[in-house]
Amino acid sequence: MSAEGRILVVGLGPGPLEWLTPEASRALEVASDLIGYGPYVERIPERAGQVRHATDNRVELDRARHALELAKAGRVVAIVSGGDPGVFAMAAALFEAVDQGDETDRAVNISVLPGVSAMQAAAARLGAPLGHDFCAISLSDNLKPWDVIVRRLTAAAQGDFVIAFYNPASRARPDAIHAAFKLLRELKSADTPVAFARAVGRADEKLTLSTLGEADPSICDMSTLVLIGSSETRFIARPDGLSPWIYTPRHYGGGR
């Protein structure tokens, strides 16, 4: 195995180049190979001599194993993910491949470079909804059973966390978000603030604010990050028709 080969797991952030960290930019410049889901690879300007390996969705382990083989052959490989690569993304897939591999895989030089997550980007647009304890839950049941999702949603609601939903709805899973809202409506107050943050940072960005009782979860797709407030989360009204801020106070139980 070449001593020069290595893997850089790069978080591209939600979209805008302004949200790409300097460290991530340098990694993309030095990489001999780019590996990732096609739409993410397409976001990166082409560079002479750099080989691009764009793949379809749901082949994360194949992608990771390919990166390991390239690195062992002496290539500098950048595996790219949207948002942060350690949040429901390629860093876990790569280490899963390493865990399943042999000693040569475990010897590969790997660096994970953080990025701005969809949850952070949405929170920044909305105000400060993550100002107190929060959790993130993927509503995809591709890699875990639905009853596990129900158990975690129930625990998060009973623990009064702010909850961020990743992967809320897709063509193959149109009903998951409706089932999640039905459950939460049985466990939380109807006036709990809710935000749907779609394509944050991109040209088609859209923020929709509502309450748990009145929200329409059918507006979700895979580009939507959903935030469900805690009992402390509140709206701050703004003048002149401006959209309210949402924030969760740093203290708990202080009253309104």
| Domain containing residue 53: CATH number | 3.40.1010.10
Q: Are residues 85 and 21 in the same domain?
A: yes
Residues 6+ apart with CB under 8 A from 57: 37
In tens digits, the chain (256 residues) has pLDDT values of: 445 899 999 999 998 888 999 999 999 999 999 999 999 999 999 999 999 999 887 789 999 999 999 999 999 999 999 999 999 999 999 999 999 999 999 999 999 999 999 999 999 999 999 999 999 999 999 889 999 999 999 999 999 999 999 999 888 888 999 999 999 999 999 999 999 999 999 999 999 999 999 999 999 998 999 999 999 999 999 999 899 999 999 998 865 5
Q: Are residues 105 and 145 in the same domain?
A: no
Quick check: is 254 in a domain? no
Domain that holds residue 69: 6-116
CATH of the domain at 131: 3.30.950.10
Residue 225 contacts residue 136 (beta carbons within 8 Å): no
Last residue of a domain, one of 116, 140, 164: 116
Residues 6+ apart with CB under 8 A from 224: 168, 169, 196, 197, 198, 199
E-strand ranges in 102-160 read 109-113, 127-128, 134-138
Quick check: is 79 in a domain? yes
Q: What is the pLDDT of residue 255?
A: 53
Q: What is the pLDDT of residue 75?
A: 97
Q: Residue 226 is which amino acid?
A: V
| Domains: count for the chain | 2
Q: Each residue of 43-65: b (16+ CB within 10 Å) or e?
A: ebeeeeebebbeeeeeebeebbb
Last residue of a domain, one of 98, 116, 134: 116
Residue spans of alpha helices (H) in 127-228? 146-158, 176-187
Q: What is the pTM of this model?
A: 0.91
If we measure between CA atoms, which residue out of 145, 144, 183 comes closest to residue 163? 183
DSSP 8-state symbol, 13: B
Torsion of CA 168, 174, 178, 179, to 10 degrees: -90
Q: What is the pLDDT of residue 253?
A: 84
Q: Which two tokens stand for residue 213?
A: 């009782």
Beta bridge partners of 35: 53, 79
Q: Are residues 186 and 213 in the same domain?
A: yes
Strand order in 224-228's β-sheet? Answer: 134-138, 162-166, 224-228, 193-198, 206-211
Q: Which two tokens stand for residue 70?
A: 């390239």
Phi, psi of 195 (to 5 degrees): -135, 135
Q: What is the pLDDT of residue 58?
A: 78
Last residue of a domain, one of 116, 144, 177: 116
* Max CA distance (Å), the chain: 64
Quick check: is 252 in a domain? no
